[in-house]
Chain A
Amino acid sequence: MARALAPFALLALTWTSACVTVRPVERARLADPIMQFDGDPVAAARARHVLENREGSMGGAGVAGGGCGCN
């Protein structure tokens, strides 16, 4: 049931987002480095590399490959 409803929920959320209007003049704080989801991608990739080699999980941030690091 939940899977069947998921596409409709996504459509509803997308439609809702279309109604959201943060005007360019209001975007100063959103553009601040401390508000970025990928503000420092190099440091984030390093942190992810460390954690993914010590945990059984991955994902939610990046999918690029690049070696084992399995020690």
Chain B
Amino acid sequence: MRSRGPLLAASLAAAGCVSSVEASAAAQTATAETTHTLYAESPTRTRMLVYTPGGSVKVDPTGWLGLRVAYEADVVSGATVAVKAGGAYQRNNPAADVVTTASVRDLRSLATGAVSLRHEDVTFTTSYAYSTERDYRSHSINPAIRTDVYGHNTQLEISWAKSIDEVCDRVQGTSDAVTRRRALEDATGCFTKDPLRTGRDLGVDGFQGSWSQSWTPILATQIVYTAQLIHGFQSNPYRSVIVAQGLRAQEHHPEDRARHALAVRANLYLKPIKGALRLMLRAYRDTWDLRSGTAELEFERYFGEALRASLRGRIYRQSGALFFSDDYTGGDPPAGPKGAYFSGDRELSPFTSALGGVRATYTFRPREGRLLGLARDARASGTLDVIGFSYDEFTLGGAPIENARALVAGLSLAASF
């Protein structure tokens, strides 16, 4: 007769009674994990601190069925740009501080549930996620199917994701030109019957296909293609852009965007030092004419049986979106702006970023019995990444963004029982 202890422990974890449990009994397996991430940055005139706690429980009650539930939150505080202006406008208005910032406090909650069905070498997984913020709601489904072929040397997977999102916005005048639209002041009244608030739709369809291949006992590769179609409100509702003398308008992005990415990975095992070298290259392009290239290299090796550590470096370079300009004034007077769309989003400007990081993972695995009489093994890992950004064109009223560095620290704890 199988012990019911492990599954009971997993059930308690699912109910939030414990933070990290994994249970196993023959075909029965349950896994739980808690992770905590801290993101901090304070470039010129803005700052952002995001704490992301999360937990997940995965249960495999039989060989053909898998269940997973997860929750995570983003606890956000900081200050972001509320009114963006370029250098030319600032020079014409030297007495005024034309760029303003606003405090941000928010909580994003994300709950996910997933079911996996396995039959021989085929696994079908579908998940549902609900995310909510004071000013944003999202429902997502993500079915995927994966198969192992050619003696488990080849894995093929395709997946599709559909998100139906809603963004809170200020009610705008129906006859207003986009240059007359005003930014959302705050999230008060969002998703209520407040007559001054409305919801703007955003739909996202994603498709992904991947092919993983083992070529030799020490070399494996993977090719991943991702496509995403976005339709709807894609601007930051809080952000305004100076578009003409004395005229600021809510950021205005195109409503449609098609995105494509192709990534190639290679993992090579280095037998003499019991380590692995992992390489990733990615090319990206979208219909906003934003193009990017990414190269990432990671080296990980064991120090004894229980400890492994890794070093990683990443270089990212992107062009700007076709409609990006640091200064939109100078178009047709009196309302401008230059072009049909205007953005104060630095993520749509040309820039280069570099990331360096370390990671360490320690696995506790008792030689006999279980940890604390229950755990089969336990794992703790910590990460620390530093990211630097160098913006080619984006300024705040002509002042370049300095100290654009972010620190990302993570801690993960898991145990198996």
Contacts and interface: CB of A to CB of B under 8 A. Distances in A.
Given A17-B213, A30-B269, A42-B33, A56 B226 contact: no
A54 B353 contact: yes
Interface stretch (B134-142, B177-185, B242-250, B367-375): B134-142
Contacts of B204: 65
Contact of B220 (A37, A40, A62, A67): A37
B198 interface: no
Contacts of B108: 67-69
B33 A71 contact: no
B42 interface: no
A59 interface: yes
A39 to B, nearest CB: 9
Given A59-B261, A63-B207, A68-B167, A17 B133 contact: no
A26 to B, nearest CB: 4
A53 B345 CA distance: 11
A63 B151 CA distance: 28
Contact of A30 (B70, B136, B220, B271): B220
Contact of A68 (B112, B138, B316): B138
B131 interface: yes
Contacts of B142: 63-65
Given A37-B222, A43-B412, A67 B269 contact: no
Contact of B153 (A17, A34, A58, A65): A17
A46 interface: yes
A59 B321 contact: no
Interface residues of B, number: 96
A54 B406 contact: yes
Contacts, number: 202
Nearest to A54: B347
B216 A46 contact: no
Nearest to A36: B267
A29 interface: yes
Interface string B217-235: 1101010101110000000
B393 interface: no
Interface in A1-35: 14, 17-18, 20-24, 26-30, 32-35
Interface string B395-408: 00000000000101
B104 A65 contact: no
Interface size of A as a range: 35 or more
A59 B37 contact: no
B110 A30 contact: no
Nearest to B213: A17
Interface stretch (B10-18, B85-93, B381-389): B381-389
B153 A22 contact: yes
A32 B412 CA distance: 19
Most B CB contacts (10 A, CB to CB) among A14, A53, A71 go to A71
Given A35-B267, A71-B78, A66 B138 contact: yes
Contacts of A53: 347
A34 B136 contact: no
A68 B134 CA distance: 11
Contacts of A47: 385, 408
B217 A26 contact: yes
Interface in B293-340: 294, 300-302, 308, 310, 316, 318, 321
Contacts of A17: 150, 153-154, 213
Given A29-B271, A71-B80, A56 B348 contact: yes
Contacts of B284: 57-60
Contacts of A20: 150, 153-154, 213-215
B318 A18 contact: no
B236 A70 contact: yes
B197 interface: no
Contacts of A60: 224, 226, 261-263, 280, 282, 284, 294
Interface of A: 14, 17-18, 20-24, 26-30, 32-37, 40, 42-43, 46-47, 49-51, 53-71
22 contacts: A14-B154, A20-B153, A20-B154, A20-B213, A24-B152, A29-B218, A29-B269, A37-B265, A43-B412, A51-B387, A54-B387, A59-B228, A59-B261, A60-B226, A61-B226, A61-B263, A63-B206, A65-B131, A65-B165, A68-B131, A68-B138, A68-B167
Closest 7 CB pairs of A and B: A59-B261, A60-B263, A59-B226, A63-B206, A67-B131, A65-B163, A65-B140
Given A59-B208, A63-B226, 5 more contacts: A17-B153, A46-B37, A54-B353, A58-B259, A60-B263
